[in-house]
Amino acid sequence: DPYARARSIIAKLSDKDQEKIFNFLRIVMIDTMSTIFGTIDGSCFPPNISGDFILEYDGDEIQGSLQDELIAKAEEIGVYN
């Protein structure tokens, strides 16, 4: 199980090094979500995709600023510090 192996390795690290690993993983998650949200918003264009994406909730489009909102929230909580 790769997750068990990763947990075992991380558990052996110092608290400071564990914090560095988790901070790095937060950045990876935020950057991944940012790309997905940017694709939905129409500001990011992954290769081999030519159509548009539309995200709706209860019949209303909720796209347009998802990527900006995510990055602003990430900066607000200090993910990139």
Please report, for the chain, the start and end positions of each structural domain, with discontinuous segments joined by +.
14-76
Residues 81 and 30: their CA atoms lie apart, in Å, by: 13
So what's the pLDDT on residue 68?
A: 92
Confidence category of residue 42, pLDDT binned at 50, 70, 90: confident
So what's the pLDDT on residue 14?
A: 97
Q: How many CA atoms lie within 13 A of 75 on its CB side?
A: 7
Please answer whether residues 75 and 67 qualify as being in contact, where contact means their C-beta atoms are separated by less than 8 angstroms: no
Pick the residue with more confidence: 51 or 14? Answer: 14
Pick the residue with more confidence: 2 or 55? Answer: 2
Please determine, for residue 46, whether its predicted confidence score (pLDDT) is greater than 80: yes
CA geometry: angle 66, 24, 22, nearest 5 deg: 105
58: left (phi over 0), alpha (psi -120 to 50) or beta: left
pTM over 0.95: no
